[in-house]
Chain A
Amino acid sequence: QQQVKQSPQSLIVQKGGISIINCAYENTAFDYFPWYQQFPGKGPALLIAIRPDVSEKKEGRFTISFNKSAKQFSLHIMDSQPGDSATYFCAASKFSSGSRLTFGEGTQLTVNP
């Protein structure tokens, strides 16, 4: 019930293309869904997050789409750039009742110039 499954494990996209990473969760009590971005040699850092009261959140080229009925959420990176090459982790938690974040397995994104 605490698992968050992420796919694909790795993704290669051409510069200017759209990168899409998907996550699925089991626990319907989850109410906070962040995405973390990790560059080589660095710790993961919060990229963007969404609550289930909205179906989409956009920040610049990054968009989270959320489908509550399917228990899925995804990260879309528009106009992908080589500087976006990193590992992306989705996560989920029961923020309102104070449960810790559960992370997905991570997706290694490579954007070719």
Chain B
Amino acid sequence: DAGVIQSPRHEVTEMGQEVTLRCKPISGHDYLFWYRQTMMRGLELLIYFNNNVPIDDSGMPEDRFSAKMPNASFSTLKIQPSEPRDSAVYFCASSRTLGNTIYFGEGSWLTVV
């Protein structure tokens, strides 16, 4: 299996620009998670989907953040407009069932200048 695939791996953007992060979960996994990792706050769950439906978005920091999962093999996390404090590593992860082993992608390293 190819694992969870994320793109881009690295992105540097200017404040105010729109950022779109992409994720392809492992085939057959019904749950998809978006996490953010920073030195200050550690690993934070932003949102997760079950069968393409958003279940819990309570971790999404602000209205500037949005996530979609149009089909079982693709999800996006969008930040518009981006701010320097959004600089972090964003991980996508997937699992077969909730509470089971989560498989993480290699992350998208975002820098907003």
Given the contacts A43-B91, A89-B43, A106-B42, A101 and B99 also touching, CB distance less than 8 Å: yes
**Chain A contacts for B45, CB-based, 8 A:** 100
Residue of B nearest to A30 (CB): B99
Are A101 and B43 touching (Cβ within 8 A)?
no
* Residue A98 lies at the interface, judged by CB distance under 8 Å to chain B: yes
In angstroms, Cα B98 to Cα A97, docked, is: 9
Chain B interfacial residues counted at CB < 8 A: 21
> What residues of chain A have their CB less than 8 Å away from a CB belonging to chain B?
32, 34, 41-46, 49, 89, 93-101, 103, 105-106
Complex A-B, nearest 5 residue pairs according to Cβ-Cβ distance, in ascending order: A43-B104, A93-B99, A95-B99, A98-B98, A105-B42
In angstroms, Cα B100 to Cα A43, docked, is: 17
State the total of A-B contacts with C-beta under 8 angstroms.
51
Q: How far is the CB of A102 from chain B (nearest CB, A)?
A: 9
Are B101 and A49 touching (Cβ within 8 A)?
yes
Given the contacts A42-B106, A43-B105, A43-B107, A103 and B100 also touching, CB distance less than 8 Å: no
**Chain A contacts for B34, CB-based, 8 A:** none
Residue of A nearest to B102 (CB): A101
**Chain A contacts for B101, CB-based, 8 A:** 34, 46, 49
Are A32 and B99 touching (Cβ within 8 A)?
yes
* Residue B17 lies at the interface, judged by CB distance under 8 Å to chain A: no
**Chain B contacts for A97, CB-based, 8 A:** 99
With beta carbons under 8 angstroms apart, the residue of A42, A45, A95, A106 that contacts B100 is A95
In angstroms, Cα B56 to Cα A49, docked, is: 25
**Cβ contacts B18-58/A at 8 Å (1 or 0 each):** 00000000000001010000000011010010000000100
* Known interface pairs A46-B102, A101-B99; 18 further A-B residue pairs with C-beta atoms within 8 A, sorted by A's residue number: A32-B99, A32-B100, A41-B106, A43-B93, A43-B104, A43-B106, A93-B98, A93-B99, A93-B100, A98-B98, A98-B99, A99-B98, A99-B99, A100-B33, A100-B48, A100-B56, A103-B43, A105-B42
